[in-house]
Amino acid sequence: MRRICLINGSLRGKKASSLEFLRDVESRLPDAEYAKTIVTVKARLNGSYPSEVLGQLAAADALILVFPLYAYAIPGALMRLLEDYCSYTRSGKQYTREAKVYAIVNCGFPRPVIFGECVRVLMNFCRRLSLDWRFAVCISSGPVVVTTKRVPFLDLKLKRAFAAIASDLKSGGSAPRVDYFIRPAIPAPICLMVKRRYEKKMDMR
Amino acid sequence: MRAVIFSDSDCKTELSENLTAGLARVLADNGAQVQAIGLQRDRVAPCLGCFLCATRHRGECVNKDAVGEIRRDVKQLGLTVFVTPVVFGHFSSTVKNALDRGTGSHAWQIVIGCSSDIDAEEKSTFIDLTAKHCGSADIVHPGMDSRVDVHVTQSLEENAAICESLRRDLLAAGQA
């Protein structure tokens, strides 16, 4: 039985869009075929992540990172987990080299171009640790996608992307390394208009 | 002008110490009121994504620490400098926590990656991470829509060049 570690990189608890996406992808991985563990990042830590937590990442045949984009990049809380995992592997502890790595990233912005550098960071992480980078599912306007995903026919691309992760895992990594970009059902100009109005109201600029 | 220099005090190196001291000196010589903050990983809470700083109590972060205090006064900052180790082409988690919590000056930010053992792809990723996303109004992050400069240094000579570039920019800003 293959071991999968799903990493929830959001600190928003039950309100998190990332948690919704994590559950979606988890539901596509049958319990009979995969031993799944979920690691959620922590807001407060004394020292580094406990070795039991890092051991779950080390033992996994595949890591699926699900997280929100913060300022075009990885949230600080998730970055800390990646740093601690890197130190753990460098301390000589056993870990699964060539473990497959997937990412599901969501953000509040409607244009997928924003994800490019974040994906490159994850590729660098995999290269440093000799992990097998597979691909990312990049979800624009994550909260909008969560709200509309139960509307029939609107979430086909999302379903296809999550199915691609399940299928790639099953086939042992035979799918092409192509990232999936999911745009919201609501057109980008409307999302941007709402965003600008929100920022103006909140005096964020 | 009030300026804050954030650095990662858990990852101090000769290179980062030299750079931070050099930047503080240039800023002070040009009349800036400088505050250097060494961030410790266990003392800087990450952004919780609660948006209460934008909705309920503006500018106030629910996490009460040194970063929260800077966040409250961020609109009065003329310049914020982030000095960070480059980890996989990214900020260190500690500096990223400060950045995520909106401590970047709305007028001018300088982001400096400071590592001697990075490869070309990591260097390029780090630069693009900041440079590609500033100034494009459609995708710009609130608080990063103003001037943001990015550098990577791997030697004391590059530190000196960054300090000299800052000195020239401050002179130009003073003359404008």
Q: Across the interface, which of A11, A86, A109 has its CB nearest the CB of B49?
A: A11
Whether residue B98 is predicted with pLDDT greater than 70 in this model: the reply is yes
Instruction: Count the helix, strand and coil residues of chain B and give each as a percent rounded to the nearest 5.
Output: 40, 20, 40
Question: DSSP character for B98?
Answer: H
B18 exposed, middle or buried (CB, 10 Å; 0-12, 13-18, 19+)?
A: middle
CB-defined contacts A:B, below 8 A? 120
The reported pLDDT for the residue numbered A153 is: 67
Task: Give contacts of B134 with chain A, Cβ < 8 Å.
Answer: none
- pLDDT tens for each residue of A130-189: 999 999 999 887 776 777 777 776 678 888 899 999 999 999 887 778 899 887 767 777
* Chain B interface includes A197 (CB < 8 A): no
Q: Show me where the domains of chain B are located.
A: 2-175
Q: Give the strand order in the sheet containing B33-39.
A: B33-39, B2-8, B79-84, B108-114, B147-153
CB A24 within 8 A of CB A162: yes
Q: Across the interface, which of A44, A83, A113 has its CB nearest the CB of B87?
A: A83
Bridge partners, A127 (sequence order): none
The CA distance from A91 to A49, in Å, is 14
Task: Give contacts of A45 with chain B, Cβ < 8 Å.
Answer: 42
Q: Residue holding tokens 């699926």?
A: A64
Which of these CATH numbers, 3.40.190.10, 3.40.50.150, 3.40.50.300, 3.40.50.360, describes B2-175?
Answer: 3.40.50.360
The CATH topology of domain A2-202 is Rossmann fold (3.40.50)
The reported pLDDT for the residue numbered B53 is: 82
- pLDDT tens for each residue of B61-95: 888 888 888 888 888 899 999 999 999 999 999 99
